[in-house]
Amino acid sequence: MTSPPRTVNAAASTSSTPASTVDARLQAVIFDWAGTLVDHGSLAPTQIFVDAFATFGIDLALEDARGPMGLSKRDHIRTLLVEAHVQAQWRARFGRSSSEADIDAIYERFMPMQIEHVGRYSRPIPGAVETLAALRRAGLKIGSCSGYPRQVMAVLLPQAMADGIHVDHVVAGDDLAAGGRPGPFMALANVLALGIGDVRTCVKVDDTTPGIEEGRNAGMWTVGVSLSGNETGLTLAQLQALPQPELAARRAAASQRLLAAGAHLVVDSVADLPAALADIEARRAGGERP
């Protein structure tokens, strides 16, 4: 179920071209991975951050770990370490502020743990396989990018493919010298690889605010995912067990954060994406641009 459309950059989005001259068809959809295509609740990265920090004697709550989700994993660690309560723990434990060398040390501890455990969370989100098949039938190209480094994606991809998740291109969080989210670089690398001539015919789909900002910075349409990913952070079973009022409240809160980051539309999960794409094509036919 989609939220009411919201245009963040009104000047860009309301510029009109006569509908008769507009080719409304989209050319590509670029997906995030954890929380968007696989791993309902985006549990693999968040729990491993908690576990990795714990090996240094730092108590990190799961909600703390979720805060910077969408960034590359090294940037995620850097962002967590500058949080006041985390930095206070670090100084109490080691008698000094954290350094770049400490970021490296945590990252080196994190990586083998993430590689070991990512497969546990590789199951497709319900509706993902069917949605990808529908996009292919419609002639759309399918790109993807992730905050996961290439070593982790090398473990995740074969398992996801065995479960029916097939994409045309993958950009990992450490592939590009230019950096990751919220910059546009991973999304634009997909545009180049897929041979798309106009970024305005692309849609970025993501469950995190940096991922939405990435799509906006790349000049694309953006669709946020509210219930299956990081902004809600629950397994499918946990989500299904919620009373309806609490489910509605969580949907509204997640949608508000994604819309504030610049999402043009928000859906519950990737299963609802085809209706959102139809909405975007209707808006394009009317001359609207992202």
Q: Which residue shows structure tokens 């180049």?
A: 192
Instruction: Give the span between the Cα atoms of 165 and 176, in whole angstroms.
Output: 24
Is-cis flag, bond preceding 182, omega within 30?
yes
Helix (H, G, I), strand (E, B) or coil at 168: coil
Q: Where are the alpha helices (DSSP H) in the chain?
A: 10-13, 43-54, 62-66, 73-81, 84-94, 100-117, 128-137, 150-162, 185-194, 209-217, 236-240, 244-260, 273-285
Q: Which residue shows structure tokens 């967590």?
A: 80
66: tokens are: 């979720």
DSSP string over 198-265 = -GGGEEEEESSHHHHHHHHHTT-EEEEE-SSSTTT---HHHHHTS-HHHHHHHHHHHHHHHHHTT-SE
Helix (H, G, I), strand (E, B) or coil at 164: coil
Residue 73 bears catalytic tag = yes
| Among candidate residues 179, 273, 186, the one with its CA nearest the CA of residue 222 | 273
Is residue 38 within 8 Å of 149, Cβ to Cβ?
A: no
Is residue 49 within 8 Å of 110, Cβ to Cβ?
A: yes
Of 39, 73, 207, 272, the catalytic one is 73
| Among candidate residues 42, 85, 55, the one with its CA nearest the CA of residue 270 | 42
CA dihedral 144, 148, 154, 157 (to 10 degrees): -40
Of 32, 174, 206, 207, the catalytic one is 32
Residue 102 bears catalytic tag = no
Catalytic residue set:
32, 73
